[in-house]
Amino acid sequence: MTSLLLQKILVLDGAMGTMIQPYGLTEPDFRGERFARHPVDVGGNNDLLSLTRPDLIRHIHEKYLQAGADIITANTFNSNRLSQSDYQLEHLVGELNREGVALAKSVARKYSTPDKPRFVAGTLGPTGKSASISPDVNDPAYRAVTFDDLVEIYAEQAHGLIDGEADILLCETVFDTLNVKAALFAIERVFTERRLRLPVMVSATITDAAGRTLSGQTIDAFLCSVMHADLLSIGLNCALGARQMRPYLEELSRKAPFFVSVHPNAGLPNQAGGYDQSPDEMAEIIRDFIDRRFVNIVGGCCGTTPGHIERFARIAAGAKPRAVPPRSTALLLSGLEPLTVDESANFTNIGERCNVAGSKKFARLIREGKSDEALAIARMQAETGAQIIDVNMDDAMLDAKASMTAFLNLLASEPDAARLPVMIDSSKWDVLEAGLKCLQGKSVINSISLKEGEDAFLKKATLIRRYGAAVVVMAFDEQGQATDYDRRIDICARAYRILTEEAGFPATDIIFDPNILTIGTGIKEHNNFAVDFLRAVRWIKANLPHARVSGGVSNLSFAFRGNNYLREAMHSVFLYHAIREGMDMGIVNAGLLPVYDDIPRKLRDALEDLVLNRRPDATERLLDMAEEWKNSAVTVEHNILQWRTLPLEERIRHALVKGIADYMETDMEEARQCYSPSISIIEGPLMNAINEVGELFGAGKMFLPQVVKSARVMKRAVTCLQPFIEAEKAASGNMKPAGKILLATVKGDVHDIGKNIVGVVLSCNNYEIIDLGVMVPCEKIISAAREQHVDIVALSGLITPSLDEMKHVAAEMERGGLTQPLMIGGATTSKVHTAIHLTPEYRYPVVHVKDASRSVAVANSLLTGNRDFVTQVREEYRHIRESYRQSSASLPKLDIARARANRLLIDWKAAPPVRPASLGVWSWRNHSPDEIRKYINWTFFFMAWQLKGKYP
Ligand code: THG
């Protein structure tokens, strides 16, 4: 495989879902005879067709092989326990994978020649659940699926794919790096168990205008996170069209030490959710990627056909492939963003404050369960210059493992802090491992050592490697802590040898900590501790290539506890020397280090005497001086809080945009003194601020986790105000609710942030909300609507399959004789889709609601029986239908089939996780009004406030 890729560009196949659609399969087709009596619907479960319609799947593979694909993907994208459980078909996972691959293999063999061998990639999709984002707005630490769950799920799938004799494993459409890290972990385990190895490809999907994955990582942070794995290739697929992918592909291409693949959608989705970039158009963009030597493997995702693949194969033939750059010798880490630690980085600060053993305040907050305030400590460190955050939960009074998991999960919801890599600090292996299972970025384990001998050391190192983390190695061995120079360097040298030679650990991912021990204790044996550390740093840097050196700096000054200024000054002096010796990073109280040159000369000299052990009476002299400097400490915390002095509206804005909930209670209390009635605070300053969040998101200046956080702050503000709003309502004697609205995210869809916001906004406006939650089956919606006598039914959905489900609900409401108006909202929904597909199904008003802030106006208009409104909407939708009919009539025949297929995409491969976010670097300034209109129509994000009033 590798030798082939060194010579030429390989061609991957195109979409499966798009090709299945034109067959117009119905429920009985999916069931076949074998599943005729299966208790639940299986329609739309494309992977099942490998068993019930192998003829059809074989035919599609054949088309792609004829078009010239070198690699075809087996029909196994959703053949995992999690996705199949939606159809109660978990027990089929092994068979689906085995048969899916075997089917593809039998066709590939037929087309394989010595000149052009054909390969089958067993594809592993992302599953529908995220291991690093909470689906519950109210509980950011909650996870719908864990790393351990995913490892089992993926191991099962990998076994099936290997049983079917796949040539390659392809983890594609990665929207959450933690999910794919679990997949890679599982695959590695399976390879080890089965004593074999297959090439592994990983392909991520970028879903937002800021160029990030759904879980918030930039593309280079993503690359760092999976660089530990032995990959054949890394690449991008799905959500963005090829054109929008270009800058991210270019970046991957520049940095990735693997082959690079790309298989984009056929352009951006159109108004109806289909893809219509023609083979010619798309081929031009692919040609540019090839000419610029960005890629080694090209293919297609949603909406691409054998026609596309044929064009790509022709361009790829004879073209020069991209050259793979060598691996970096830097230590590369990541949170949501990447961090490079190398000679050019000077010194990397690791924030020490999220440590229950190192900060009384943090320990108290964790013990008392004040997680918001504990998180604020992480954020404060990031703001004051920490580049990595050390987290330590080792406390006798805590369940360290549970606390580590809870805090890291919570930290993931705090984008200002989650931007940074985490250093997981514990003396217990199970705590370290629990931490590794929470972090999508590339983290650092702090620490392991030879304390328990070589076997334990090797075993841990191997696992750390599999999890994809870097490691701090303390200078300890079976005899204990190294305190003198010789033992410090001997232990580090021994550990280095074992790690690099026996564990296959890359030297770049090793960080030595040759023990920063306390000086100035009055004990003579301690006097040379700092000097020995400095010498050890120099030796390690000169003799252990590419390894880094770190240490816990505050340990140095324990003897001067209570005199913070003196301690901080001592740290600065120490670091000044240590950095010159080559120390790369240190655990410090970031933001509290005075500048070396700013330390008064007299004090600095005295500190230097102590640190460098220049005179025997250094400690006494410093103690004499200590009183003088006792209260000089200046805290930085003061500066960070400057925004608190801004006027109220600006503070509210700041809190929402930055996602800071800490002061909401105070600010809302103050707002209530200035605004009356209380609801006007929501309608005024809060809505203004959230609108700005929407605009920033639209402009790519914020990314999803940040927006989610702002939504949480909004919710917190609303919670503060709610009792007052209700009291005011009661006082005004207007207790009668404006109406009763049923909210539900439709079956097959778990997204509810937008729906929850709509719920809040409506209930603030006196509506009684009955929220049925997510994944709500049609029957439940209809029976609840009947039994609870609701006035309006509101459906929400974020992913493409929800469009079909909504159509189903509308039809069933008609059949069930319901009369309530229907409101439609959510990312994939659009006015066009509503007009074309939903209105014809239901005779009562069906209205698409563009964003949460419109929901009140729409609901009011519907319930006050505003005839004009309903007539106007009907009229507008009728127009949309007509012009749509005309435009599709003018399409050439073939395209109609394709357009129809595209509109009805139902499988995951064909469904980007977040449609509107898939706009990429789209800037409205560069496009014609027509394109802009198209953009607007389908850019409905759950908070599409960004577009309000800005466009034609
Ligand atoms: N090497 C490695 N990891 C480490 C250490 C190390 N982790 C823990 C520790 N040492 C580094 N972290 C700290 C954190 C805080 C303090 C010292 C080291 C500290 N805290 C104040 C004190 O104890 O006086 C408490 C201040 C407060 O409560 O606010 O000094 O060496 N690999």
CA distance 488 to 513: 9
- Say how many CA atoms lie within 13 Å of 175 toward its Cβ: 25
Return mean pLDDT, the chain: 86
- Do strands 480-481 and 510-513 pair parallel, antiparallel, or not at all (unpaired)? unpaired
CA distance 845 to 867: 11
- Identify whether 230 is a catalytic site residue: no
Provide, for the chain, the percentages of residues in helix, strand and coil under a 3-state DSSP scheme, each rounded to the nearest 5.
50, 15, 35
For the chain, what is the radius of gyration of the CA atoms? 30
Residue located nearest, by CA, to atom 4 of ligand 1: 552
> Distance from first CA to last CA of the chain, Å, rounded?
51
Q: Between 921 and 734, whose confidence is greater? A: 734
Q: Ligand 1: does its nearest atom lie under 6 Å from the Cβ of 514?
A: no
Q: Ligand 1: does its nearest atom lie under 6 Å from the Cβ of 562?
A: no
Query: Among 899, 889, 878, 798, which Cα is nearest to 835's?
Result: 878
pLDDT of residue 449: 96
Which tens digit of pLDDT belongs to each residue from 16-43?
987 888 888 999 999 999 999 999 999 8
Q: Are 296 and 259 in contact (CB under 8 A)?
A: yes
Q: Which helix (H) or strand (E) holds 740?
A: strand 739-745
In the reported structure, the alpha carbon of residue 939 is separated from the centroid of ligand 1 by a whole-number distance in angstroms of 48
Q: Ligand 1: does its nearest atom lie under 6 Å from the Cβ of 472?
A: yes
Q: Ligand 1: does its nearest atom lie under 6 Å from the Cβ of 568?
A: no
Residue 544 main-chain phi, psi, to 5 deg: -115, 90
CA distance 647 to 662: 17
Residue 824 main-chain phi, psi, to 5 deg: -120, 130
Q: Ligand 1: does its nearest atom lie under 6 Å from the Cβ of 361?
A: yes
| Confidence band, pLDDT 50/70/90 cuts, at residue 749 | confident
Beta-carbon contacts of residue 140 (< 8 Å; ≥ 6 apart): 134, 409, 410, 412, 413, 712
| pTM recorded for the entire structure | 0.77
Q: Ligand 1: does its nearest atom lie under 6 Å from the Cβ of 444?
A: no
Residue located nearest, by CA, to atom 20 of ligand 1: 358
Mean pLDDT, residues 455-462 taken together: 96
Q: Ligand 1: does its nearest atom lie under 6 Å from the Cβ of 557?
A: no
Q: Does the structure show a pLDDT above 90 at 594?
A: no
Q: Which two tokens stand for residue 14?
A: 């195109």
Q: Which helix (H) or strand (E) holds 416?
A: helix 415-418
CA distance 282 to 789: 51
Which three-class secondary structure state does DSSP give residue 736? Answer: coil
Active site residue: 13, 425, 513, 749, which one? 749
Q: Which two tokens stand for residue 185?
A: 């972990």
Q: What is the number of the ligand 1 atom nearest to the C-alpha of 446?
A: 32
Q: Are 178 and 131 in contact (CB under 8 A)?
A: yes
Residue located nearest, by CA, to atom 7 of ligand 1: 552
Which three-class secondary structure state does DSSP give residue 59? Answer: helix
- Identify whether 802 is a catalytic site residue: yes
| Confidence band, pLDDT 50/70/90 cuts, at residue 631 | low
Residue located nearest, by CA, to atom 2 of ligand 1: 552
Q: Are 413 and 443 in contact (CB under 8 A)?
A: no
Q: Ligand 1: does its nearest atom lie under 6 Å from the Cβ of 743?
A: no
Strand order in the sheet with 822-825: 767-771, 739-745, 792-796, 822-825, 846-848
Which tens digit of pLDDT belongs to each residue from 459-486?
999 999 999 999 999 999 999 999 999 9
pLDDT of residue 272: 65
Q: Between 110 and 946, whose confidence is greater? A: 110
CA distance 342 to 596: 22
Three-class DSSP labels, 534-549:
HHHHHHHHHHCCCCEE
pLDDT of residue 440: 97
- Write the burial class of residue 518 (CB in 10 Å: 0-12 exposed, 13-18 middle, 19+ buried): middle
Active site residue: 130, 334, 447, 802, which one? 802
Residues in the chain: 952
pLDDT of residue 253: 96
Q: Which two tokens stand for residue 131?
A: 């291991």
| Confidence band, pLDDT 50/70/90 cuts, at residue 937 | very low
Which three-class secondary structure state does DSSP give residue 912? Answer: coil
CA distance 380 to 640: 8
For 92-144, give the DSSP string.
GHHHHHHHHHHHHHHHHHHH--SSS--EEEEEE---S--SSS-S-TT-TT--S
Q: Ligand 1: does its nearest atom lie under 6 Å from the Cβ of 473?
A: no
Q: Which helix (H) or strand (E) holds 577?
A: helix 564-581
Residue 717 main-chain phi, psi, to 5 deg: -60, -45
Which tens digit of pLDDT belongs to each residue from 370-379?
998 999 999 9
Q: Ligand 1: does its nearest atom lie under 6 Å from the Cβ of 351?
A: no
Q: Are 487 and 514 in contact (CB under 8 A)?
A: no
Q: How many CB atoms lie within 10 A of CB 843?
A: 11
Q: Between 728 and 848, whose confidence is greater? A: 848
Query: From residue 898, how far is each of 16, 277, 904 by CA, in Å?
Result: 13, 11, 10
Q: Between 852 and 347, whose confidence is greater? A: 347
pLDDT of residue 662: 85
Q: What is the number of the ligand 1 atom nearest to the C-alpha of 359?
A: 28
Residue located nearest, by CA, to atom 31 of ligand 1: 552
- Identify whether 789 is a catalytic site residue: no
Q: What is the number of the ligand 1 atom nearest to the C-alpha of 474?
A: 32
Q: Which of 353, 356, 359, 389 to mutate to test the pocket of ligand 1 (most atoms within 8 A of CB)?
A: 359
Residue located nearest, by CA, to atom 21 of ligand 1: 358
Q: What is the number of the ligand 1 atom nearest to the C-alpha of 516?
A: 31
pLDDT of residue 316: 96
Query: Among 135, 128, 137, which Cα is nearest to 758's?
Result: 137
pLDDT of residue 227: 96
Q: Ligand 1: does its nearest atom lie under 6 Å from the Cβ of 561?
A: yes
In the reported structure, the alpha carbon of residue 356 is separated from the centroid of ligand 1 by a whole-number distance in angstroms of 9
pLDDT of residue 124: 97
Q: Does the structure show a pLDDT above 60 at 488?
A: yes
- Do strands 548-549 and 510-513 pair parallel, antiparallel, or not at all (unpaired)? parallel
Mean pLDDT, residues 107-119 taken together: 96
In the reported structure, the alpha carbon of residue 555 is separated from the centroid of ligand 1 by a whole-number distance in angstroms of 6
